[in-house]
């Protein structure tokens, strides 16, 4: 962007639309979504961009005054570059990421992809077969809020989406370890079929057979989810299953 027409990427960059995500909404627009967590995350991400811009420009403007200043490298330019890379790079699990203009035109779906990079080539392989017109491009296992923040859209059907629920428990109960009774201070148990993620305190002993968590292991009875009998899972979010609860270990 700084080089303008002289940049190898000029034609590509000049065709890109301005990034649109929740981060770019005003405070009033964010409030209309009626989700305090989105407002909080938006503030954190915007603050992160400001922090990085200030850290970079503190050195650039001082060491390379003839090239960089508030006009040639404005915050708006940096923000555009930050959000474009965030939304359009491929291969984040590789040592290097890449902007792939052709891949921007591919349709998207929640199927796994394999990325490979060698000999200055970038290859993508899907874990499933495709027919003409099928979805190909995957945005990984992200809930709606992350898709909205990173890419500016949400899927109509998203098996990785969830809702946050704070469980308010009686801290005076001898069944709750006080030091871990807060919604964020306790363990997380996750209903991974796309319905509910709740933040719960670690329970010192079983309160009922509907929901039990032990501080030394991840154990859940999820009879209320519709399973024919209580199901027990060990592990964290990676132990994805339908109709049961997957538990993380208590911290």
Beta strands in the chain (DSSP E): 89-90, 98-99, 113-118, 121-126, 164-166, 188-191, 196-199, 246-247
- Domains located in the chain, CATH noted: 4-150 (3.90.1410.10), 162-251 (no CATH)
pLDDT of res. 1: 60
DSSP 250: P
The residue with greater pLDDT, 214 or 174, is: 174
pLDDT of res. 122: 58
CB 244 within 8 A of CB 225: yes
**Highest-confidence segment of 10-24, 36-50, 99-113, 168-182:** 36-50
Distances (CA, A) of 244 to 113, 205, 209, 212, 228: 27, 20, 14, 13, 11
User: pLDDT digit string (tens) for 24-54?
Assistant: 778 888 888 787 878 888 888 888 999 999 9
Distances (CA, A) of 152 to 21, 77, 84, 144, 147: 4, 18, 11, 10, 6
- Average pLDDT of span 115-134: 64
Q: Is 57 buried (19+), middle (13-18) or exposed (0-12) by CB count in 10 A?
A: middle
């Amino acid at each position: 962007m700084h080089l303008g027409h002289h940049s190898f990427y000029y034609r590509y960059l000049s065709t890109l639309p301005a990034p649109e995500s929740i981060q770019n909404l005003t405070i009033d627009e964010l409030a209309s979504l009626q989700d305090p967590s989105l407002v909080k995350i938006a503030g954190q991400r915007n603050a992160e961009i400001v922090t990085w811009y200030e850290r970079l420009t503190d050195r650039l403007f001082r060491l390379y005054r003839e090239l960089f200043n508030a006009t040639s490298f404005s915050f708006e330019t940096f923000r555009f570059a930050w959000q474009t890379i965030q939304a359009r790079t491929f291969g984040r699990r590789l040592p290097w990421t890449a902007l792939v203009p052709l891949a921007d035109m591919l349709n998207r779906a929640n199927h796994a992809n394999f990325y490979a990079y060698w000999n200055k080539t970038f290859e993508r392989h899907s874990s499933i077969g495709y027919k003409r017109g099928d979805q190909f491009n995957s945005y990984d296992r992200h809930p709606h809020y992350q898709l909205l923040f990173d890419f500016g859209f949400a899927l109509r059907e998203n098996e990785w989406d969830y809702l946050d629920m704070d469980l308010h428990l009686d801290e005076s109960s001898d069944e709750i370890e006080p030091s871990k009774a807060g919604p964020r201070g306790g363990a997380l148990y996750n209903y991974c079929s796309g319905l509910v993620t709740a933040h719960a305190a670690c329970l010192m002993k079983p309160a009922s057979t509907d929901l039990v968590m032990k501080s030394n292991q991840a154990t859940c009875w999820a009879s209320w989810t519709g399973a024919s009998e209580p199901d027990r899972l060990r592990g964290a979010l990676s132990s994805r299953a339908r109709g049961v609860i997957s538990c993380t270990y208590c911290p």
